Amino acid sequence: MSKNTQYKARSPDADGHIDYPQPEHDIWQALYSRQLGNLSEYACSEYQQGLKDLGLSDNIIPQLKDIDKVLLAMTGWKTAAVPALISFERFFELLANREFPVATFIRSKDEFDYLREPDIFHEVFGHCPLLTNESFAKFSHAYGNLGLSASKEDRVLLARLYWFTVEFGLIRNPDNSLSIYGGGILSSPGETLYAMGPEPQIRPFNLVDVLRTPYRIDIMQPVYYAVDGLSFLDEIVEMDIMGAVAEAKRLGMFAPLYELKTKAG
């Protein structure tokens, strides 16, 4: 995980309250209002219900303690305030404990469309609504336990599973339309419209294929994987995920559908 970041997280006080300056609330409001219209059309129904259940403000950055009250009551989860970047070990540990890491900073205006690292809008607006859903919550917990016990090499492949589900997952509806459940799309106005457009490839979910698919964090995704409903996450939990990891390692990665980075100098 990269250790470079331009952001600094804000720390909660003894009562768990985080004091954000008004310009940061203004950014939350602009992101919220810009994305809400997109989500009424493209977000999956479970996400939209979760957004209502959380009761997020459209003009003030929410307090994590308020989100925790809802999540604990509905699925037994809560948030964990973290710095801008944390280790994979810490990430898996939190998920295994049913704690969702939330970086307590918000992006700058010049990164409205796509942010390379998770901010509070990404984590709270993008992910927390679905943590009210039992299937999503169960999958996230199981994933944390898998990652905690996996080798460093295997974690690289497990990261692809998380990327193409929790972060950039789509749902193929019975009428063949698409809905979004991945928080990386849900929190990105730019990627929401891109993912619903004609450019990217949409593939049916296949566990081994997902584990063989490379990705870059700093571009719009050239390929997404679609599941047949959010409850399909329950089926993934019951799969032999580590056996699929071994098979994906044997077969090797697919050729990337993007330009490879070249080292400067």
From the annotation, which residues make up the binding site for Fe cation?
Answer: 122, 127, 167
Whether the CB-CB separation of 184 and 206 falls below 8 Å is answered with no
- The count of C-alpha atoms lying within 13 angstroms of the C-alpha of 218, restricted to the half-sphere facing its C-beta, is 4
CB-count burial class (<10 Å; 0-12, 13-18, 19+) for 107: buried
The active-site residue, picked from 167, 179, 188, 191, is 167
Whether the CB-CB separation of 213 and 154 falls below 8 Å is answered with no
Q: Which residues belong to the annotated binding site? A: 122, 127, 167
Question: Is 2 a known active-site residue?
Answer: no
What three-state secondary structure class fits 181?
A: coil
SS3 string, 28-86, reads HHHHHHHHHHHHHHHECHHHHHHHHHHCCCCCCCCCHHHHHHHHHHHCCCEEEEECCCC
Distance, CA of 46 to CA of 172 (rounded, Å): 14
Whether the CB-CB separation of 123 and 107 falls below 8 Å is answered with no
Question: Is 122 a known active-site residue?
Answer: yes
The active-site residue, picked from 135, 140, 179, 187, is 187
The active-site residue, picked from 127, 135, 188, 191, is 127
One-letter amino acid of 64: L
Question: Is 187 a known active-site residue?
Answer: yes
Question: Is 25 a known active-site residue?
Answer: no
CB-count burial class (<10 Å; 0-12, 13-18, 19+) for 110: exposed
Token pair 């600094």 is found at 8
The active-site residue, picked from 24, 93, 117, 122, is 122
Backbone angles phi, psi at 238, to 5 degrees: -85, -10
Whether the CB-CB separation of 108 and 120 falls below 8 Å is answered with no
Catalytic residue set: 122, 127, 167, 187
